[in-house]
Amino acid sequence: MGTSRHVERRTVLKAAGAAAATLGLAATTGCGGDGGSGDGTVTLRYAWWGGEPRAIAIKKTIALFEKKHPKIRIKPEFTDYEAFWEKFQTQASGGNPPDVFQNAVGFLRKYDKRGVLMDLKGQADAGNLSLENFRNGVLANGQVDGKQIGIPVGANTMALVIDLKAFQKAGVTPEFGWTWDEYFTALQTIQDKLRIAGDTGYFSIMYLYDLYLRQNGKAFFTDSGLGFTEDDLTQWWEDGHKRVKSGLVADPKKVEQVKPKSALSAGLAASEFTWDNFSIRYEGEGESDYGLAPIPTGDGKDTGQYLGSLMLSAFSGTKHPEEAARFIDFMVHDPEVGTIMGYDRGILATTEQYDAFTPTDDNNKGVKAYEEEVAAAGALGKITPHPSGADVVEAAFLRIGGEVAQGKSKPADAAKALFSEAKAAFAG
């Protein structure tokens, strides 16, 4: 992955769509029960987070499953991300979480530590769930201490979403292997020529900082804690705050004012780091054209990137472990499910579903091309382990990073506060 090759048309691709799957609210339905009936029919509770488009698609896959498995009924429960985990924590504490539920790497160790998650290897050994045909080694994302407690349904990676018109007007062309210095020089050019900020606020994004650390031989998390120092974080936030004051990064007060719209689609800046499959939101919100560009590097080669994933997990105390495993197997392997879900939760994780779905819109074509380009360039590594409490640290990083951006907290004090909150989270 050299610095001389410009990103080709298939890499910086137009993103199209109506709204991000992570946005929007949906009412929660269903409350579960004993899971059985007199005629032998089993009922499983299935919970996830996401917007209305995801809910509509998942309900179609549930109907398909019930048609093929008439003795298993599925009761759906869904809401937005924050409300999902608030409710799930209460359910887990009360011993009544859903039988099957959407999960993410930041929560695996936390709920494994509490004995909530089923080790699905046993169900795989029994023939109720296949652990074969997962793409690019993504199955490992759901493994903790030798147990398979999450089964990936999709995969995504970090990307730089850019305002194509702004970059073109400024005469800036992203390149694979470009360095951070080259990236910030590009943003300065955009600011000078177009009088807008270059970035929306990169330094409060935990997953981007993780990539930066990985580029420098560290990582955000170790198995049990943080993989960097207070000095490391202080420097990161000092650099970010300086760029806010210089106007290179968008005014955080204006960023707050346009929420829930992105500062990028609101025209406050020309680029924003996020997960590649979230790029659908910008075209729906904004007036420009948007595309995916490479992550800047430290050495012109290593981006630190990996495939993240949404997963399905099962409750260790479910009364119907075999049926839960069969349901998960269907949801991650059935080709028709793949065609229904598309890339709503990221690039489809298994070959059966990946091969079954051919994207037709510009956004999904762009996401597929971007991930294939990154994989072909050999940029993908293994995901950084997340200890129990990682979810709390992620929220704290976003909040405290925002305080730094607004000048409410000095970088050194903010770093100290983050480490203090992390210590408490890991001990919980």
Instruction: Cite the beta strand spans of 15-88 per DSSP E.
Output: 42-49, 72-79
Report the side by side order of strands in the sheet with 42-49: 72-79, 42-49, 100-104, 308-314, 151-156, 347-348
Whether a cis peptide bond, with omega within 30° of 0, leads into 76 is no
What band does 364 get if pLDDT is binned at 50, 70 and 90?
A: confident
Compute the average pLDDT of residues 107-121. 96
pTM for the structure as a whole:
0.83
The CA distance from 212 to 218, in Å, is 9
Got the DSSP string for 110-150? HHHHTT-B--THHHHHTTSS----BGGGGGGGGEETTEE--
Given a cut of 50, whether residue 299 has pLDDT beyond it is yes
What band does 88 get if pLDDT is binned at 50, 70 and 90?
A: very high
Candidate from 100-109, 260-269, 292-301, 358-367 with smallest mean pLDDT: 358-367
Compute the average pLDDT of residues 315-336. 98
Domains of the chain: 42-154+307-360 (3.40.190.10), 158-274+294-302+384-427 (3.40.190.10)
- State both tokens at 59: 């309900």
Closest CA to 96 of 148, 151, 34: 34
Mean pLDDT value across the chain? 89
- Nearest-5° Cα angle at 61, 55 to 67: 135
Would you state the pLDDT for residue 53?
86
The CA distance from 285 to 328, in Å, is 34
Compute the average pLDDT of residues 398-405. 95
Give residue-wise pLDDT tens across range 7-54.
333 334 444 333 333 333 233 333 444 556 667 899 999 999 988 889
Compute the average pLDDT of residues 409-413. 97
Are 387 and 224 a contacting pair, CB within 8 Å? yes
Would you state the pLDDT for residue 281?
80
The CA distance from 129 to 330, in Å, is 8
- Of 123 and 308, more confident: 123
Would you state the pLDDT for residue 37?
62
Would you state the pLDDT for residue 23?
30
Are 207 and 404 a contacting pair, CB within 8 Å? no
Give residue-wise pLDDT tens across range 165-179.
999 999 999 988 899
- State both tokens at 27: 């009412």
The percent of the chain in helix, strand and coil, each rounded to the nearest 5, is 45, 15, 35
Closest CA to 229 of 412, 10, 3, 19: 412
- State both tokens at 64: 């398909």
Given a cut of 50, whether residue 61 has pLDDT beyond it is yes
Would you state the pLDDT for residue 380?
86
Would you state the pLDDT for residue 36?
63
For the stretch 345-357, what's the b/e string if a residue is b when 16 or more beta carbons lie within 10 angstroms of its beta carbon?
Answer: bbbbbbebbbebb
Would you state the pLDDT for residue 82?
87
Would you state the pLDDT for residue 104?
94
Given a cut of 60, whether residue 401 has pLDDT beyond it is yes
Given a cut of 50, whether residue 2 has pLDDT beyond it is no
Would you state the pLDDT for residue 38?
67
In DSSP terms, 274 is beta-bridged to 159
Compute the average pLDDT of residues 279-302. 88
Would you state the pLDDT for residue 304?
93
> Three-class SS of residue 313?
strand
Would you state the pLDDT for residue 3?
34
Task: Please give the C-alpha separations between residue 310 and each of 40, 89, 344, in angstroms, as whole numbers.
Answer: 32, 18, 10
What band does 244 get if pLDDT is binned at 50, 70 and 90?
A: very high
| Residues contacting residue 9 through CB under 8 Å, at least 6 positions apart | none
The CA distance from 370 to 9, in Å, is 10
Given a cut of 80, whether residue 422 has pLDDT beyond it is yes
Compute the average pLDDT of residues 217-245. 96
